[in-house]
């Protein structure tokens, strides 16, 4: 991945105006020039190396709904002097073809179309380009942002004419063919345009935030993907000595199962056999027909439903976060991310896998921030959870609460009377808790490798080939306790 630096403003201007004639999704036209320059300016202002503006135009037009198969004069670019047509066709096949076929780009496009037109869409597109470049590693150029600002003051028709004349008289700028070759090679070796963390940011409009604000949850999503990759696809085997407790059955835990199993002469009009409608006789006036007679004699036939019931187990899964976790904002050399990022990646994977594997259970996750007073040392972490579980919070599956430590034992015992309760206490030095009919697990994050124990046992470091493998093993052990 190379970065070419253009220091001369005249050369940078030549590069930009020539790039207007390299776009393929739409023919170059004066109406789209300012939009293209605005997109390019947003990319450059975020500190990213600039790909060919023609590629930015193609990506933007596709993402925002322009269909190049139905655009007139699609081949007008072949008439541009000194345009390397073989290179351009290869670019269409490998780069644009990949963009149209990639499912991640399709989801990103749907997300971008919900952004407000103008600056918001430009920032979203700049984020998409940056994420694609981070995965594909294609080359780019750096130049003064003032060159783009100056071009935005020039009439679009004049810029198009200047770019065409420059191509005709001087040939293509030497960086343009090299950049397009780099794009082609990058598209060939890249599996998908975007990753799950990129789609997360775009769909929740976190892409509009500053880099520092979105870096934490991007790292959590990446670390969570690494941890989930170590898990089996099927539900893991539960631990032999796990704790289960009887719970009170509530009405909402019972559901009818099965479909129609027999035929009866009693039922509702919705379950009436359609064949019984043949007994209706038209034009009988006030006299009852055969259908009326059979109805009064209870001889019409109805489908009968299975009366068996399915019992849905209620689970309340509590994750208590001690205030001393603020000390885990520390990067160990053995870990790819900070300790707190690895912890929240584990918790995010834990919620995802339990939701996926325990589909027949009524699940409720409570994240309890332990502490007293107005100060909240884990406020950034709470905001992070709100982003990670935005949909789950909206549906009431995940609940975030603040709670004094001394109230926690009584609260979990109250929950245990109507639900199966598991409690995970996380901290640098997780406190010991005692509660009846509650399975309690303590997780200590006091080193690069986590330590795990039951409520009354001594903490033991989770073994693994390296620190990352230790976190993956820790996740499996917690899942084995909770499955």
Question: How many CA within 13 A on the CB side of residue 229?
Answer: 8
* 29-60: pLDDT as tens digits: 899 999 999 999 999 988 889 999 999 999 99
pLDDT at residue 253, as a whole number: 59
Alpha carbon distance 474, 464 (integer Å): 9
Hunting for tokens 């046992």 — which residue is that? 457
The pLDDT of residue 72: 43
**What tens digit of pLDDT does each residue of 417-446 get?**
888 899 999 999 998 888 888 889 999 999
Radius of gyration of the chain (CA): 31
Cα separations in angstroms, 79 against 21, 217, 249: 10, 47, 76
pLDDT exceeds cutoff 80 at 476: yes
Structure tokens at 79: 């008439």
User: Confidence band (pLDDT; 50, 70, 90) for 374?
Assistant: confident
What residues pair up with 3 in beta bridges, in sequence order? 140
> Parallel, antiparallel, or unpaired for β 451-454 and 309-311?
unpaired
The pairing of strands 314-321 and 420-427 is parallel
Task: Tell me the C-alpha distance between 426 and 45, whole Å.
Answer: 41
pLDDT at 97 over 50: yes
Output the average pLDDT for the chain.
87
257-273 residue pLDDT tens: 566 678 888 888 888 89
Reply yes or no on whether the pLDDT at 247 is more than 90: no
φ, ψ of residue 440 in degrees (nearest 5): -110, 130
**What pLDDT was estimated at residue 185?**
95
Residue 248 reports pLDDT greater than 60: no
d(CA 251, CA 234) in angstroms, rounded, equals 31
Report the 10 Å Cβ neighbour count for 8: 12
**Nearest to residue 54, comparing CAs of 90, 27, 74?**
27
Contacts of 195 (CB under 8 A, 6+ apart): 104, 131, 135, 222, 225
- Is the Cα torsion angle 12, 16, 22, 23 positive or negative in sign? positive
Instruction: Say how many residues make up the chain.
Output: 483
Q: Can you tell me the mean pLDDT for 101-128?
A: 93
Q: pLDDT of 127-143, one tens digit each?
A: 999 999 999 999 999 99
pLDDT at residue number 250: 58
Can you tell me the distance from the alpha carbon of 372 to that of 124, in angstroms, rounded to the nearest whole number? 40
Instruction: Return the structure tokens found at 64.
Output: 């925002």
- Residue 364 CB neighbours (<10 A): 17
């Amino acid at each position: 991945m190379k970065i070419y630096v253009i220091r001369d403003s005249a050369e940078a201007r030549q590069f930009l105006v020539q790039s207007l004639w390299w776009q393929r999704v739409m023919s170059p036209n004066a109406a789209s020039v300012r939009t293209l320059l605005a997109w390019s300016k947003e990319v450059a202002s975020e500190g990213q190396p600039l790909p060919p503006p023609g590629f930015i135009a193609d990506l933007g037009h596709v993402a925002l709904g322009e269909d190049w198969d139905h655009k007139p004069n699609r081949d007008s670019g072949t008439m541009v002097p000194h345009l390397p047509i073989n290179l351009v066709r290869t670019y269409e096949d490998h780069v644009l073809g990949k963009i149209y076929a990639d499912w991640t780009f399709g989801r990103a496009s749907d997300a971008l179309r919900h952004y407000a037109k103008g600056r918001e869409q430009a920032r979203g597109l700049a984020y998409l380009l940056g994420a694609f470049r981070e995965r594909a590693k294609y080359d780019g150029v750096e130049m003064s942002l003032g060159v783009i600002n100056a071009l935005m003051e020039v009439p679009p028709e004049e810029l198009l004419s200047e770019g065409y004349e420059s191509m005709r008289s001087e040939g293509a700028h030497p960086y343009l063919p090299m950049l397009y070759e780099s794009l082609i090679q990058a598209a060939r070796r890249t599996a998908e345009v975007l990753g799950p963390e990129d789609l997360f940011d775009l769909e929740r409009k976190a892409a509009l935030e500053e880099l520092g604000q979105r870096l934490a949850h991007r790292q959590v999503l990446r670390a969570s993907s690494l941890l989930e990759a170590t898990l089996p696809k099927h539900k893991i085997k539960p631990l032999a000595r796990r704790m289960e407790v009887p719970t009170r059955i509530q009405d909402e835990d019972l559901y009818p199962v099965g479909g129609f199993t027999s035929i009866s002469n009693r039922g509702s009009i919705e379950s009436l056999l359609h064949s019984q409608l043949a007994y209706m006789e038209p034009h009988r006036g006030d006299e009852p027909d055969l259908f009326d007679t059979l109805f009064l004699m209870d001889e019409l036939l109805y489908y009968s439903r299975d009366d068996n019931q399915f019992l849905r187990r209620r689970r309340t899964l509590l994750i208590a976060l001690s205030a001393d976790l603020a000390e885990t904002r520390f990067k160990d050399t053995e870990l790819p991310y900070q300790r707190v990022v690895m912890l929240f990646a584990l918790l995010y994977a834990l919620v995802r896998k339990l939701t996926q594997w325990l589909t027949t259970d009524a699940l409720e996750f409570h994240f309890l921030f332990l502490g007293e007073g107005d100060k909240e040392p884990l406020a950034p972490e709470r905001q992070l959870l709100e982003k990670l579980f935005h949909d789950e919070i909206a549906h009431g599956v995940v609940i975030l609460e603040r709670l004094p430590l001394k109230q926690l034992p009584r609260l979990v015992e109250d929950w245990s009377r109507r639900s199966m309760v598991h409690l995970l206490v996380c901290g640098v030095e997780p406190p010991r808790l005692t509660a009846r009919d509650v399975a309690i697990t303590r997780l200590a994050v006091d080193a690069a490798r986590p330590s795990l124990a039951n409520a009354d046992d001594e903490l033991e470091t989770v073994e693994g080939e390296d620190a990352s493998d230790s976190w993956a093993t820790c996740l499996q052990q917690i899942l084995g306790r909770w499955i």
